[in-house]
Amino acid sequence: MPESYGELLKKAVCSRLRRVLVAGGAGFIGSHLCDALLRDGVEVICVDNLSTGSYANISHLQHDSRFSLVIQDAEHELKTEKDLDAVFHVASPASPEDYMRLPIETLRAGSHVTLNLISLARANGARFLLASTSEVYGDPLEHPQPESYWGHVNPIGPRSVYDEAKRFAEALTMAYRTTHGVDTAIVRIFNTYGPRMRVNDGRAIPNFIAQALAGEDVTVAGNGRQTRSFCYIDDMVTGILAAAVSKHSGPINLGNPDERSIVDLARTVIDMCNSPSSMKFVERPTDDPTQRKPDISLAGEILGWCPSVSLETGLAYTIAWFQATARQLD
């Protein structure tokens, strides 16, 4: 029987990566990435300042001898990190509420932290993978968004601290590649969701699930006709690993092209939670993108990757996790 994509990827990960550093490894995406790397036999050093992440996300790894946790800001010197095959930079506030609450930290995550981590990769001869974002496209005028689209970003608006930090991080990554020959990869991550998102991180999916489970009004911004395309975390981690073991520099879009309006998402979550909640229409944030959908042809061509978890299936897993977590807190 031919080997599955997952089996082939696992072989590539095992053979190319022995020891890696994951900056931001105690966050939502980072902790799932640590899990997947360990599962594939890789030694993982997780560096995190716990600003938006949490020890709870990685506490189940504490007895794994191949896992170590360094609690510090990834902007500062990382003294002990030698013999690394890859450095993953997933350290940045990512939810609009977080990055607007932490504007300077977010700009530092794109600039100083990127510089420190790419220098570390260079010193180790390691591959450097930057977790960039669909937000580099801003409020896009081209739809869906291919990697060749340059974006439509307000450089001084409230979202600029995140958008421009990531655009700077991409430019820095490309400059280190061309100037110093560092082996780099940029992935542009579109809205990703799943277990371990913080209930109060302000993003649509955790907000809607928490509100629906509590029987509270579900807060839909504006008329809810703006769109997003939501990718389940397992698919995203597979795409990140595929990019990490490939030879491509990117940028590569990673996301699920199944585009939904926010009002449809709210209705789906309310129905799936069997909730009596109604929708409450609230003010739309400044510069909130009107539409977003990844063109993932490049990821298909060069990584052979495409997402496989439907929104309904991914939401079912996520709702079950939120319910179980809420029960533990009772």
Contact pattern for ligand NAD over residues 98 through 127, marking x by CB under 6 A: x----------x---x--------------
Residues 190-209 that bind ligand NAD (CB under 6 A): 191-192
Asked whether 127 and 142 are in contact (CB, 8 A), the reply is: no
- What is residue 312's three-state secondary structure? helix
Residue 237 binds ligand NAD, judged by CB under 6 A = no
Residue 315 binds ligand UDP, judged by CB under 6 A = no
Residue 28 binds ligand NAD, judged by CB under 6 A = yes
DSSP sequence for 104-164: HHHHHHHTHHHHHHHHHHHHHT-EEEEEEEGGGGBS-SSSSB-TT---B--TTSTTHHHHH
> Which member of 99, 162, 176, 232 is catalytic?
162
DSSP sequence for 218-268: EEEETTS--EEE-EEHHHHHHHHHHHHHS-----EEES---EEEHHHHHHH
Closest by CA position to 47, among listed 74, 84, 20, 19: 74
- Stretch binding ligand UDP (CB under 6 A), from 22-30, 36-44, 105-113, 202-210: 202-210
Asked whether 219 and 207 are in contact (CB, 8 A), the reply is: yes
Asked whether 231 and 191 are in contact (CB, 8 A), the reply is: yes
Q: Catalytic: 162?
A: yes
The Cα 303–Cα 297 span in angstroms is 10
The Cα 129–Cα 141 span in angstroms is 27
Residue 221 binds ligand UDP, judged by CB under 6 A = yes
Residue 154 binds ligand UDP, judged by CB under 6 A = no
- Cα distance between the two ends of the chain: 47
- Stretch binding ligand NAD (CB under 6 A), from 47-55, 60-68, 258-266, 307-315: 47-55
Asked whether 159 and 223 are in contact (CB, 8 A), the reply is: no
Residue 191 binds ligand UDP, judged by CB under 6 A = yes
Closest by CA position to 120, among listed 24, 23, 33: 23
The Cα 60–Cα 54 span in angstroms is 12
Cβ proximity to ligand NAD: between 86 and 275 the closer is 86
Residue 204 binds ligand UDP, judged by CB under 6 A = yes
- Least distance in angstroms from the C-beta of 212 to ligand UDP: 11
Residues 64-103 that bind ligand NAD (CB under 6 A): 73-75, 90-94, 98
- Stretch binding ligand UDP (CB under 6 A), from 23-31, 50-58, 213-221, 269-277: 213-221
Residue 209 binds ligand UDP, judged by CB under 6 A = no
Considering only the C-alpha atoms of the chain, give the largest distance between any 2 of them, rounded to a whole number of Å.
58
Residues 252-281 that bind ligand UDP (CB under 6 A): 262
Task: Select from 32, 196, 198, 228 the one that contacts ligand UDP (CB under 6 A).
Answer: 228
Contact pattern for ligand NAD over residues 6 through 25, marking x by CB under 6 A: -----------------xx-
Bridge-partner residues for 187, per DSSP? 131, 252
**Among ligand UDP, ligand NAD, none, what does residue 17 contact (CB within 5–8 Å per kind)?**
none
- Contacting positions for ligand UDP (CB under 6 A): 95-96, 191, 203-204, 207, 219-221, 226, 228, 262, 284-285, 288
Catalytic residues, by residue number, are 162
- Contacting positions for ligand NAD (CB under 6 A): 23-24, 26-30, 47-53, 73-75, 90-94, 98, 109, 113, 131, 133, 189, 191-192
